[in-house]
């Protein structure tokens, strides 16, 4: 239903010449009713990807299609109509809620702007609050009277007000107390089921992505380096970066050995001066000469599982070495 093709996003460097390569050719698809987890460290381009997918920003090149409609080319009324179908949930709902408006006013305003629920707005506001597990009494409250979890519920209700098909969730629980994270995650899972939604779920937290995703895309320095079914990618990673990310969290089954040993050292490189060859090579314990020269393509190494790594590609064609 949602397709991104070869998305590139570059920003000018503030201090002088050159560009920051925020995204360097990202392609992915989101199926109907599917949850695609996108995981990577901060600065890997996850949030840039989210902004391009909802058309908050235009890509430098590449395209985004929703049900076959080219969002990157949509303008005016068509863009507004398409934007309703794909809504974004932010990490900090507080910054996106007007502090001077009661919750009910915030939701009514969204309905009014989109010409929805004419005549029955109060009832619709009540329904929306109920969908996110809040009683009708919350309509009279101001954002500062809400807990973090309640504010995120209001943020979700506001997104649902326009009856979207796709939600883009950018670190939706990272700012919340650990104790309420599970509640919001469960709410999201139930809403997906009840409303037939699809999600792009963006997080730096592998455990969170593992919990909710059907498929997972691992991002590094503006690229997808591994993508596939969540179990295939997170339990049997092929890319050394994915393997290192997964080793940082407790394995669900400690008796299972990791297929590859890899470790990550150092910092994420400056995206204004990305490394030659494989962008991961300065931090990769498996790096070889070829890695410094050639940028590995994303290749299908297992059914419905693609990886961008020279060593993984070679290992896949030499099964006896395993
Ligand atoms: Fe490491 Fe080379 Fe694979 Fe890049 S291509 S992840 S440097 S082994
Ligand atoms: Mg971010």
Atom of ligand 1 nearest to the CA of 286: 8
Half-sphere exposure of 104 (CA within 13 A, CB side): 15
Q: Residue 193 burial by CB count (10 A; 0-12/13-18/19+): exposed, middle or buried?
A: exposed
The rounded Å distance from CA 109 to ligand 1 centre is: 50
Q: How far apart are CA 18 and CA 244, in angstroms?
A: 31
Q: Which ligand is nearest to the CA of 240?
A: 1
The rounded Å distance from CA 47 to ligand 2 centre is: 4
Q: Which ligand is nearest to the CA of 48?
A: 2
Scanning 145-260, the segments in alpha helix (DSSP H) are 148-160, 178-195, 206-212, 230-235, 240-247
The rounded Å distance from CA 146 to ligand 1 centre is: 46
- pLDDT per residue, tens digit, the chain (322 aa), is 999 999 999 998 877 778 889 999 999 999 999 999 999 988 899 999 999 999 889 999 999 999 989 988 888 888 888 889 999 998 887 777 899 999 999 999 999 998 898 889 999 999 999 999 999 999 999 999 999 999 999 999 999 999 999 999 999 999 899 889 999 999 999 999 999 999 999 999 999 999 999 999 999 999 999 999 999 999 999 999 999 999 866 555 544 444 455 667 777 788 888 889 999 999 999 999 999 999 999 999 999 999 999 999 999 888 655 4
Q: Which ligand is nearest to the CA of 295?
A: 1
278 lines ligand 1 (CB under 6 A): yes
The rounded Å distance from CA 316 to ligand 1 centre is: 14
Q: Which ligand is nearest to the CA of 50?
A: 2
The rounded Å distance from CA 228 to ligand 2 centre is: 22
143 lines ligand 1 (CB under 6 A): no
DSSP characters over 140-164 = G--GGGS-HHHHHHHHHHHHHTT--
Biggest distance spanned by C-alpha atoms of the chain: 69
Its pTM stands at 0.91
The rounded Å distance from CA 52 to ligand 2 centre is: 13
Tokens of 245: 């990310």
Residues within 5 A (CB) of ion ligand 2: 47
Nearest residue (CA) to ligand 1, atom 6? 309
The rounded Å distance from CA 200 to ligand 1 centre is: 27
311 lines ligand 1 (CB under 6 A): yes
> What pLDDT does 257 receive?
43
93 lines ligand 1 (CB under 6 A): no
> What pLDDT does 258 receive?
45
ipTM (interface pTM): 0.95
Contact assessment for residue 218 and residue 41, using Cβ atoms and an 8 Å cutoff: no
287 lines ligand 1 (CB under 6 A): yes
Q: How far apart are CA 139 and CA 141, in angstroms?
A: 6
299 lines ligand 1 (CB under 6 A): no
């Amino acid at each position: 239903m949602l397709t991104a093709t070869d998305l590139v996003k570059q920003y000018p460097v503030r201090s002088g010449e050159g560009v920051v390569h925020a995204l360097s050719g990202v392609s992915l698809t989101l199926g109907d009713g599917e949850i695609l987890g996108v995981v990577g460290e901060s600065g890997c381009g996850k949030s840039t990807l989210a902004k391009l997918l909802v058309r908050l920003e235009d890509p430098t090149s590449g395209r985004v299609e929703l049900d076959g409609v080219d969002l990157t080319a949509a303008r005016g009324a068509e863009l507004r109509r398409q934007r309703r179908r794909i809504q974004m949930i932010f990490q900090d709902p507080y910054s996106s809620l007007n502090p001077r408006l009661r919750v009910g006013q915030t939701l009514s305003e969204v309905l009014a702007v989109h010409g929805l629920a004419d005549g029955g707005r109060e009832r619709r506001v009540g329904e929306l609050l109920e969908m996110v597990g809040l009683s009708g009494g919350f309509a009279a409250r101001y954002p500062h009277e809400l807990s973090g979890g309640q504010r995120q519920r209001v943020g979700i209700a506001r997104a649902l007000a326009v009856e979207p098909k796709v939600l883009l969730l950018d670190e939706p629980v990272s700012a919340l107390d650990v104790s309420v994270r599970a509640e919001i995650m469960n709410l999201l899972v139930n809403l997906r089921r009840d409303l037939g939604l699809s999600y792009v779920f963006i997080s730096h937290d592998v455990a969170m992505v593992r919990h909710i995703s059907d498929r997972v895309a691992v991002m590094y320095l503006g690229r997808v380096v591994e993508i596939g079914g969540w179990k295939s990618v997170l339990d049997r990673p092929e890319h050394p970066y994915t393997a290192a990310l997964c080793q940082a969290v407790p394995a669900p089954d400690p008796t299972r050995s990791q297929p590859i040993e890899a470790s990550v050292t150092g910092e994420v490189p400056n995206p204004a001066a990305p490394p030659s060859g494989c962008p991961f090579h300065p931090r990769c314990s498996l790096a070889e000469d070829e890695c410094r020269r050639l940028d590995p393509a994303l290749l299908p190494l297992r059914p419905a599982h693609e990886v961008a790594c020279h060593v993984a590609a070679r290992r896949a064609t030499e099964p006896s070495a395993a």
